[in-house]
Amino acid sequence: MSDPQNQHIEVLKTEVLSDSWYVLRKVTFRLRKRDGSWEVQSREAYDRGNGATILLFDRERRTVVLTRQFRLPTYVNGNASGMLIEACAGLLDADAPETCIAREAFEETGYEIRNPRKVMQAYMSPGSVTEILHFFVAEYSRAQRVSEGGGVEEEDIEVMELSFDEALGHIASGEIRDGKTIMLLQYAALHLFGTQ
């Protein structure tokens, strides 16, 4: 099946390998290489939907709100505790990114945020996962925390308020190893807090 928008690829076959949690597909395709020749390749792509993430920040107090929770994939790949410090995030499901991230911020952190501002979007693992992640920032104040947060259903999320400098230090020490969180903290260093 040729793609009229991309004359360099022709999908030959798509197989669903698993759909018990999200969908894992194997796609066999012909790809036109730079020299003009065609090559048949097969790749697997994991489709879990698109997501959104947000960094809550207080510019005046130089603080940020992050979360800590158990992440099985990190545990099976060398993270002894399985715990990961992260920016709040979630899957879009059928919602717009702005709607999703306001909901996720409330569920995970207990903060009712106003005016989340989208700052970028990125493919986080384009070699194997289809997900596009929408990145947001939003200012918060203590008055906006209207519940304890902690997530829903089987989630067990710890809410952490850190100084911005402490959060940056956690990147250097290896305590923060989550890609989306590192990207948002680096964005904040460049555009929200500046250097002191």
Q: Report the C-alpha gap between 185 and 188 in whole angstroms.
A: 5
Report the percent of the chain where pLDDT is more than 70.
97
pLDDT of residue 109: 95
Residues 157-196 pLDDT 10s: 999 999 999 999 999 999 999 999 999 999 999 999 975 4
Amino acid at 20: S
Average pLDDT of the residues in 12-21: 95
pLDDT tens per residue across span 24-42: 999 999 999 999 999 999 9
Structure tokens at 125: 């693992």
Q: What pTM, to 2 d.p., does this model score?
A: 0.92
pLDDT, mean of residues 68-84: 95
How far, CA to CA in Å, does 57 sit from each of 8, 46, 95, 139, 181?
A: 44, 32, 24, 5, 13
